[in-house]
Structure 1
Amino acid sequence: MTTGVRRRLGVEERRRQLIEVALELFSNRSPDEVSIDEIAAAAGISRPLVYHYFPGKLSLYEAALQRAAQDLAERFEEPQDGPLGARLLRVMSRFFDFVDEHGPGFSALMRGGPAVGSSTTNALIDSVRQAAYVQILAHLQVTRPSPRLDLVVRSWVSLAESTALIWLDGRRIPREELERQLVHDFAALAAVSAAYDEEMAALLRRILAAEPADGPFTDLVERLALLAPV
């Protein structure tokens, strides 16, 4: 974070600096607790100069959320080669990297923070969810999902989001276990849907056929087998 000394910056460079400073502050504390004076001091400029670039804290907050939303959406991007389970594990690892590094900022993004209910915030949240949805469909090599697959993917994206928010409140489950559990959750949601729909069953068979013996989906099957009566 830049502190203390003022620098002459161009308009766009100064705006980027203020967004980065605000995002760092919002990532460590609730946006409601961060003042314009703190943002100005961290950027090494005066309070009036902050208002020269942003009309108020809400507009700066929304700009910081937009940057965070873009970063979070990119965490779901992954090369589409190799077993699906391993790919999803890497996605979840990057997702929780973001959650871990930007706890209050993540909560503010997903819960709305001081801008709760605003069209801008809602659009940002929807953009993250849609980006995750599109990426998962790409991993499944599906362009036109069936209603059941649509439900599975959207439910899983929502589950990952809500699980991360709950985890931030105390971090009572080891992060690595939670990442693997969410990958297992995806397989479980797909398996339940496959029990009702042959198209989902065919997709699940294709996924499991490509899963190695040490993959997370195989691990789930083995764990469930231990629970079944002999």
Structure 2
Amino acid sequence: MSPQRRREDLIGAALELFGARPPEQVSVDDVTAHAGISRPLFYRYFSSVRELQVAALRTVTEGLIDGLAGQATGEPAERLRQAVRGIVDVADRYRAGYVALLRSGSVIATSETDAAVDEVRNRAVEVILDALGETTPSPRVLLTLRCWTAVVEGTLLSWLQEGTMPRAELDGWLVDQLAGMLAVTATHDTR
């Protein structure tokens, strides 16, 4: 197995384990047992379980950014739905990693993971502005878009943990919320 493939397998094993318990409760021994490798082999790829946690969470954020970038052409609302669908797909695939990444007070939160989350949020705002064809948004519009990304994060956290809404309804509902928020902003926006 190539070194890159082995590293990806270790990250995948960690993400699977995060599905059963919080990342801060996953040890090197847990990962090596799950991946079927020795401790010395683990340390060829990662200096610590903390480094593995950060790499795993980075995998989630890269997936979220890729999900946002995967939008198709079409009407703005459909492009936004596709971008939100991409985010939902990644959040669902990396369920525990996503929850760990955004969970308030996580002991694995670092400046690096915080920067990765901010990168996803900034990319989300860029995708929305692009879909809307907006090149010079007002401060209120930018604030609205940042607030909406927080709504999406909170909704996905609740959905992943509680499953209270059918997945098929999420993207349309979230895009409709954005449309409502932007409509209210327009009534207050004097530029």
TM score, norm. by length of structure 1: 0.74
Q: Partners of 1:155 and 1:22 in 2: how far apart?
A: 31
Partner of 2:40: 48
- The change in CA–CA distance for 1:71 and 1:28 in structure 2 (over 3 A counts) is farther
Partner of 2:184: 192
Q: Which amino acid counterpart does residue 120 of structure 1 have in structure 2? A: E
2:49 is aligned with 1:39? no
Of 92, 108, 133, the residue aligned with 1:115 is 108
What value does the CA root-mean-square deviation take over the aligned residues?
2.0
Structure 1: segments with no counterpart, 5+ residues = 1-8, 200-230
Q: Deviations over 1:29-50 (max 9, x none)?
A: 3213322112112322101221
Q: Deviations over 1:142-176 (max 9, x none)?
A: 23321121112111111101111122232112222
Structure 2: segments with no counterpart, 5+ residues = none
Q: How does 1:116-135 map to 2 (within 5 A)?
A: 116=109, 118-135=110-127
- The change in CA–CA distance for 1:20 and 1:93 in structure 2 (over 3 A counts) is same
Q: Which amino acid counterpart does residue 178 of structure 1 have in structure 2? A: L
1:51 deviates by: 2.1
Instruction: Identify which range, 164-173 or 79-88, moves more after superposition.
Output: 79-88
Of 162, 165, 168, the residue aligned with 1:170 is 162
1:52 deviates by: 2.8
Determine if contact 2:19/2:95 at 8 Å carries over to the other structure: yes
Q: Partners of 2:70 and 2:3 in 1: how far apart?
A: 34
Of 64, 79, 89, the residue aligned with 1:97 is 89
Q: Partners of 1:80 and 1:100 in 2: how far apart?
A: 21
TM score, norm. by length of structure 2: 0.88
2:153 is aligned with 1:156? no
1:133 deviates by: 1.4
Q: Larger Cα Rg: Structure 1 or Structure 2? A: 1
Determine if contact 1:84/1:139 at 8 Å carries over to the other structure: yes
Q: Partners of 2:26 and 2:119 in 1: how far apart?
A: 25
User: May I ask how many residue pairs the two structures share in their alignment?
Assistant: 190
Determine if contact 1:21/1:39 at 8 Å carries over to the other structure: yes
Q: Deviations over 1:54-100 (max 9, x none)?
A: 11111000011111110011111244632111222222222222222
